[in-house]
Amino acid sequence: MVATPRHTMGDRMPRKEDGRFIRGKGRYVDDIRLPGMLHSAILRSPFAHAKINNVDASAALELEGVHAVITGADLAAQGLAWMPTLAGDTQAVLATDKVRFQGQEVAFVVADDHYIAQDALELIEVDYEPLDPIVDSRRALDEDAPVIRDDKEGQADNLIFFWDAGDREATERAFQEAEVTVRQEMFYPRSHPAPMETCGCVADYDISTGEMTVYMTSQAPHAHRTLFAIVSGLPEHQIRIISPDIGGGFGNKVPIYPGYVCAAVASLILGRPVKWMETRAENLMSTSFARDYRMTGEIAATRDGRILGVRSKILADHGAFNAHAQPGEQYPTGFFPIFTSCYDVPAAYAEATGVYSNKAPGGIAYRCSFRVTEAIYLMERMMDVLADELEMDPAELRRKNFVKKEQMPYVSVMGWEYDGGDYHAALDEALRIAGYEQLLEEQRRAREEGRIMGIGVSTFTEIVGAGPGKKCHIAGIEMFDSAELRLHPTGKAILKLGVKSQGQGHETTFAQIVAGELGIPAENVEVREGDTDNTPFGLGTYASRSTPVCGAATAIVARKVREKAKKIAAHMLEAAEGDLEWTGERFQVKGSPDRGVNMEEISFAAYTNVPEGEEAGLEGVTYYDPPEMTYPFGAYICVVEIDKGTGQIEVKRFIAVDDCGVRINPMVVEGQIHGGLASGIGIALMEVMDFDEEGNHLNSSFMDYLTLTSMEAPKYELGETVTPSTHHPLGARGVAESPTVGSPAAVVNAVVDALSPYGVRHVDMPLSPNRIWSLLRENGVGA
């Protein structure tokens, strides 16, 4: 007989949630079918900027099978035509006055099935009067630029914000006094998280009870319920958001989209469940984009490579409505101020200008913790520009400027306190795995043979796990997170969380945390999340916050439960609490290992034999507010070869050493790293959302919005160092985004290194064959 596996904290436990997915039994929003459910489709603007003179839905309403057509005017009558965004701006639910980006929501059709709803869209007549669009953010503040947000009182231009941070004068001085300064402009283009499952919901309003249940592709169901209550005026306790299985999020499922609101309104009007599910084009065109930062980086340094100051300037395109994902109004550039990264920089200054444009709203953190991706890309590109200027090895330059582990806990010049880190060790490990010296030798040979080969290094620290609540909030709600744990009489546990997995494997890893704390097998812990009626209030899963915040809550609630268990154990063993010790498996009387009870026995006693003065049951709840964020870090090396004839880049090797502190499940961590690398490499090579001069979206399908396939994905070579977080109860940090943060610069650095013999110092992403081929031709390479 095969022994039943008992897994705990730290094990490579195969995932508990796999069973339903490999059988085709996952339950995603689009799989939900309720009795009487209707379907919907959204009419979207063909123009990037146009005045709406009239919307005539009469013909659509006459089509058989159509139940309702909702227009902006209808919503305006209910005061619902506009909704608040995460950044404190407003966004049109359905356009009333103007359309402000191509793909904007104009009308919502409800019908018996999706095909009829689509037919009805064709019958809606909209009288548009096209206006001059702003597509290039560099034109947004021109004198004669059309004002996009003329709906906002007092808004006379397209400026959203001006922001700066750091010590401007000290940085200026550093630049004046420095022996060497370098400067580089770069563009981090617009991209999209594009999870395999698009966004959607089923809104189900029950007229008889007044309850509104919304099954929704939500990374943050509790926060969404509160926002729903605020927007709709429905009482919060009668709204239930259920986020079932989610087919990937990557930040795309953090905001509230007009489709959710329209489906809820339609269900309220019709008294029937209404499903809304985006097409892929709608997902790419209208839901949150990421990045779109035009940046200038500057470094001041000594001749021998000591950094004296860093400066950056950003032009941020936030689209037509400012729906930027940010942990509070004090962070209009998110965590960009982390840009001094893992380097000991004495002076730094950053400034940013945020503007409206006639493009989709957003600025969400695509597999990223609030703009840290842009910050690290800037810094890592600049390090290579400096290395090039100094004719210094890029790895050496980095090593020279790292914060040393003796400096931990280090407070950066921008005011961030790092929870430990050994950047030298991570880089050394990456160089060792890569065989750096041999690689350099190989490159020399390749160049002699006329092959174009490049090596790129990228070292970084991330910043993940928002809170603390006093520093970070969403719509005023502090960014804590929660866990509720109950042990049942037979010692089996249910753990309920305020976060929500979209593939991260919480049902396994969080069970492992409980297992580690209570000495029961992870197999005996069921994890529940994503239902606001049945889980404690939490802020959700994004910006790699689940493990740092909710993982900590889980460890702490388990420890609370263990405290109570100790009282019961003392009673059972007829010993004083002080005489008991916890072995990791059970409580036993110090010095008498034969006298002990395990958690299963204690659980049973909690319901059958509680000591006097104690309540029955064995459970607890914790709302954990982290004292600081966590700072996972890494060292990446990318090796590329470029085809002279086609400009095609092949990623030959990718080495990633990550330090996310203690790993709860190394298998899951590695899987997260693989996925993050694929996104980061994809962003560097091919993922981009472009627009023509009229504001037409040029990448609205997977034919044009290219993501990495199995053919381009390299074989990842992973390594690790383990530096426990100084404040996390398990010593753990978030990890799923580090690879997306760190890898684009490694790829670009490798490509620039490959092309450096031809005088190339920088190339903007995406590094498409076309772009590289042109560069090669310009520099006289190839036919």
Q: Which does 152 bind (CB under 5 to 8 A by kind): ligand FES, another protein, none?
A: none
Catalytic residue IDs: 219, 367-368, 737
- Under the criterion CB under 8 A, does residue 122 sit at the interface with another protein? no
- Kindly tell me which of 383 and 736 has the beta carbon lying closer to another protein: 736
CB of 347 to another protein, least distance (A): 38
Instruction: Please tell me the distance from the alpha carbon of residue 39 to that of residue 272, in angstroms, as a whole number.
Output: 10
Judged by CB under 8 A, the number of residues near another protein is 60
Judged by CB under 6 A, the number of residues near ligand FES is 3
Name the nearest CA neighbour of 682 among 559, 567, 765, 776: 765
Q: Which does 14 bind (CB under 5 to 8 A by kind): another protein, ligand FES, none?
A: another protein
Q: What six digits make up the tokens of 355?
A: 């503007």
Q: Which does 317 bind (CB under 5 to 8 A by kind): ligand FES, another protein, none?
A: none
- Kindly tell me which of 248 and 719 has the beta carbon lying closer to ligand FES: 248
When binding is defined by CB under 8 A, the residue of 446, 494, 667, 763 that contacts another protein is: 667
3-state secondary structure of 531: strand
Q: Which does 281 bind (CB under 5 to 8 A by kind): another protein, ligand FES, none?
A: another protein
CB of 702 to ligand FES, least distance (A): 7
Q: Which amino acid is at 538?
A: G
The alpha carbon torsion through 720, 724, 725, 727 (nearest 10 deg) reads 170
- Under the criterion CB under 8 A, does residue 678 sit at the interface with another protein? yes
For residue 705, give Cα distances in angstroms to 198, 494, 519, 686: 14, 41, 48, 8
3-state secondary structure of 287: coil
The total of other beta-carbon atoms located within 10 Å of residue 392's CB is: 17
Residues 184-203 close enough to bind ligand FES by CB under 6 A = 196
When binding is defined by CB under 8 A, the residue of 708, 735, 748, 750 that contacts another protein is: 708
- Kindly tell me which of 63 and 76 has the beta carbon lying closer to another protein: 63
Residues 261-290 close enough to bind another protein by CB under 8 A = 279-281
When binding is defined by CB under 8 A, the residue of 677, 686, 746, 755 that contacts another protein is: 677
Would you give the binding string for another protein spanning residues 465-504, x where CB under 8 A is met?
-------------------------------------xxx
When binding is defined by CB under 8 A, the residue of 11, 30, 292, 529 that contacts another protein is: 30
The total of other beta-carbon atoms located within 10 Å of residue 448's CB is: 8
CB of 315 to another protein, least distance (A): 29
Instruction: Please tell me the distance from the alpha carbon of residue 655 to that of residue 715, in angstroms, as a whole number.
Output: 9
- Kindly tell me which of 7 and 727 has the beta carbon lying closer to another protein: 7
- Under the criterion CB under 6 A, does residue 503 sit at the interface with ligand FES? yes
CB closest to ligand FES, residue no:
196
469: left (phi over 0), alpha (psi -120 to 50) or beta: alpha
- Kindly tell me which of 250 and 410 has the beta carbon lying closer to ligand FES: 250
Q: What six digits make up the tokens of 680?
A: 């980061």
Say which residues have a Cβ less than 8 Å from residue 99's Cβ, sequence separation at least 6. Answer: 45, 47, 48, 49, 50, 52, 106, 128
- Under the criterion CB under 8 A, does residue 21 sit at the interface with another protein? yes
Helix axes 372-390, 738-755, angle to 10 degrees: 30
- Residue 295: in which H helix or E strand, if any? strand 289-301
Residue for token pair 């639910």: 93
Instruction: Please tell me the distance from the alpha carbon of residue 650 to that of residue 683, in angstroms, as a whole number.
Output: 14
The total of other beta-carbon atoms located within 10 Å of residue 671's CB is: 16
- Under the criterion CB under 6 A, does residue 248 sit at the interface with ligand FES? yes
- Under the criterion CB under 6 A, does residue 671 sit at the interface with ligand FES? no
Pinpoint the alpha helices (H) of 200-295: 221-232, 258-270, 280-286
For residue 176, give Cα distances in angstroms to 309, 312, 387, 760: 10, 16, 20, 27
Binding site for another protein (CB under 8 A): 14-15, 17-28, 30-31, 33, 113-115, 193-198, 245-248, 250, 279-281, 502-505, 667-668, 670-672, 674-679, 701-703, 707-711, 713, 715-716
Binding site for ligand FES (CB under 6 A): 196, 248, 503
